[in-house]
Amino acid sequence: MFNGFIKVAAATPHIRVADCPGNAKALQRVMRAAHGDNARLLITPELAVTGYTCSDLFFQDALLKSAEAALLLLAETSLGQDMITIVGLPLRYHGKLYNCAAVLYQGKILGVVPKANIPNYGEFYEVRHFAKAPEENGEIRIGGAAVPFGSKLLFCSDEMPAFKLAIEICEDLWIGNAPSVSHAAAGATIIANLSASNEIVTKDAFRRTLVVSQSAKLVTGYIYADAGDGESTTDLVFSGHNIIAQNGTILAESKPFGPGYAVTELDLEALAHDRRRITTYGAEASEGYLSVPFSMPLTRTQITRAVARHPFIPDNETLRGERCDLILSIQSAGLKKRLEHTGSKTAVIGVSGGLDSTLALLVTARAMDLLNRPRTDVLAVTMPCFGTTKRTRCNAGALCDALGVTLREIDITDAVRQHFSDLGHDESDLDVLYENAQARERTQVLMDVANQTGGLVVGTGDLSELALGFATYNGDHMSMYAVNASVPKTLIRHIIRYYAERLTDDSLARVLLDILDTPVSPELLPAVDGNIAQKTEELVGPYELHDFFLYYVLRWGFAPAKIRRLANHAFAGEYAPEEIDRYLAVFYRRFFAQQFKRSCLPDGPKVGTVTLSPRGDWRMPSDAAARVWLEELSL
C-alpha cells in the first residue's frame, strides 16, 4: 500500500443455487486465494451466498437463515486476513428483504449496503423479491451486533487516506444517475460492484464500456465482480466476466466463461492527483454519508500490473498507427492555420538530417498540401558547419528532394568564425560558446531568410529537449511556430517509422529509415573521422528514460521515490537501479534549472496530455529550487 498502490481482486466462485453452506465454502476458497495473492480488497458477485437465481426461494425463511449463518462464518474467516472482502446475500431489514453487499474485515461485518435500483424488465424480476434501498442510513442487527446499513456508506482506511471504498450493486451501474456518482463526489476512490449480469450476444462489450467509462468519468478505481458458474441456467447463462478498471483503462479482466478471477493493483495516488488537478471535479455531495473507519497496516504492494516503458506510445499496433496519424493531423492543421493567418509566402525550416527537423518537414509539407499550395513553398535550409557529417548532410538533401520542397544550402562556417574573431574566441576552445554560436547563427539565418521571402520559421525542437533544457536559448529554442513542442523524442521516432512504413516511395522510405538509425546529435562539435562525435544520449542519458520521467512528473505529479520504483519495474534488466537514480537526478536538475527557456516558448500545438507551454498546461517559476525532489531521491 506504499506509494498509493493497493492490490485488489474480483473473483467468481463456483456455487450451487440455494446451498448457502456450500457457497460459503466456495467463498472461503476464493478469500484464501486472493489473500495468498496479497490482495487487500476482494469483491465477489451479487447474491453469491445464496445464488442470484433462487427466484421465489428468496421468500423461504430457511434460505434467509442459512444465508445469515453463512455470512457470520465468512466474517469469522476474514479474521487474520488483512483484506476486506465483500459478499452478496439477501437480508431482512425493517420487515422488507434487500439485495445486499456485506463488507467483512478482521472477523467483523463493517457494514451492509443494499441495492438502490431494483430492475423489473426483460429477464429481471427483482421487484418481486427485493425492496429498494432506504433513503437514509440505519443499523441492522446481525449475529447480535449492530451494523451500519445503507446505500451511503464510505469505508475509509485510517492509514491510507486515499483508500475510500463505496459500493453499488449491478443495476446501479446501468442507470443514468448511478449511485457511484454520489459516492465519488463524497470522496470514494474505489467503487465495488457486485453483479449478476447474464451473458447474451454483445453484452460483454457493452458491460466493458460501462465499467471503463464510469471509472473515467468519476476518476475512480472500479471493480466489477460478475456471477458465473453454478447459477441456474433455466433461462439465463452467467459468464463470470470480471473487470478492474482505473480512470478509463482496464487493468485486469477475466474473460467471459474464463477462470473468473482478476487481480491487479490500483494506484490511488494517481486518482487523488487527477481529482486535485481537475478543478471541475466536485467534492460537495457528502451529505447523508456515514464514514466507516478501519485500520489496515501499510505494506509494500508488489507491482504486477504492466508499466509501459514508453508511456507516450500505445502498445497496440493499430492504436499506435492511429495515434501517429492523429498527431500528424494536429500538427499540420495547426501550422496550416498559422500560415493562413499570417499570409506567409513560404514556410522556412532548418533541416539537419536529424529526427526533429525530419518530422517538422513532414508536417510542413502536409500543411502545404492542406492549403492546396505547392510544396516548393516550403523553403528547407541546410546550414553545415564544423560538426556536420556527410551522412546527415546527404540525408537532409535526399529528404527534401523526395518531398519536393525547395532546398537551400547556406554554409555558416565563415560567419561563425567571424563571430569568434569579433569576440576574441579561440576556435580550438570547444566550449559552450563554440557550440551555441553555431546554433544562434542558424536561427539568425532562418529568421532573415523568412524576412527575405515573406515566410514563417517553423520550429523543430521537441518536448524532451524542452524538458531537459537541451536547446540553445535564442537559438534552436526559438521559432515562429513550433510544431514539435509537445511531441517527445520517443514518440517522434515512432511517428517517422509509421510514416515510412506507409510509403509507396521507396527512396523516401530509405531516407527516413536511415535517419531513424542515425544517433541523436546537435552536431556542434567537430566530426571524428567523418562520424558524429557528439551524441546527445551519452551526455544527458537515454531519452526513453527521460521521457518516462517526464510523463510521471508532469502528468501525475508523482514523487521521486515512486517514479524510481516505477522505472525500476518497467526497465528491470535493461538499466541498473543506480543508473536510473543517476539519470533521474539529471532530469530533476536540468528540469528545474532550465525553466527560463520554457517561460518564453513560441506558439505550438498541444498534441497530448503532457505539454510545457507557459500559456497552457505548465506554469512554473524560472527560479524554483530542486532541493526537495533531489533530497527525496537521495534517501
The set of catalytic residues is 46, 115, 170
Phi, psi of 44 (to 5 degrees): -120, 170
Expressed in angstroms, the distance from the first to the final Cα of the chain is: 19
Grid cell in block for residue 404 = 519536393
Dihedral of alpha carbons 485, 491, 496, 498, sign: negative
Grid cell in block for residue 597 = 527557456
Place of cell 450493486: 169
**What's the Cα-to-Cα distance from 56 to each of 53, 64, 119, 242, 289, rounded to whole Å?**
9, 12, 16, 27, 33
CB atoms under 10 Å from CB of 404, counted, come to 12
Strand order in the sheet with 242-246: 249-254, 242-246, 221-226, 190-195, 164-169, 153-157, 290-294
Vertex 399 angle, CA 394 and 400, to 5° = 105
Q: Strand 221-226 relative to strand 190-195: parallel, antiparallel, unpaired?
A: parallel
Q: Is 47 left (phi over 0), alpha (psi -120 to 50) or beta?
A: left
CB atoms under 10 Å from CB of 575, counted, come to 19
Vertex 124 angle, CA 99 and 55, to 5° = 60
Dihedral of alpha carbons 100, 103, 109, 110, sign: negative
Length of the chain equals 635
Phi, psi of 181 (to 5 degrees): -65, -50
48/510 Cα distance (integer angstroms)? 61
Count Cβ neighbours within 10 Å for each residue of 366-378 and write b for 16 or more, e otherwise: bbbeebebebebb
Place of cell 495516488: 269
Vertex 75 angle, CA 70 and 78, to 5° = 130
357/381 Cα distance (integer angstroms)? 11
233/243 Cα distance (integer angstroms)? 23
71/67 Cα distance (integer angstroms)? 6
Helix, strand, coil percentages for the chain (3-state, nearest 5)? 40, 20, 40
Dihedral of alpha carbons 557, 560, 563, 567, sign: positive
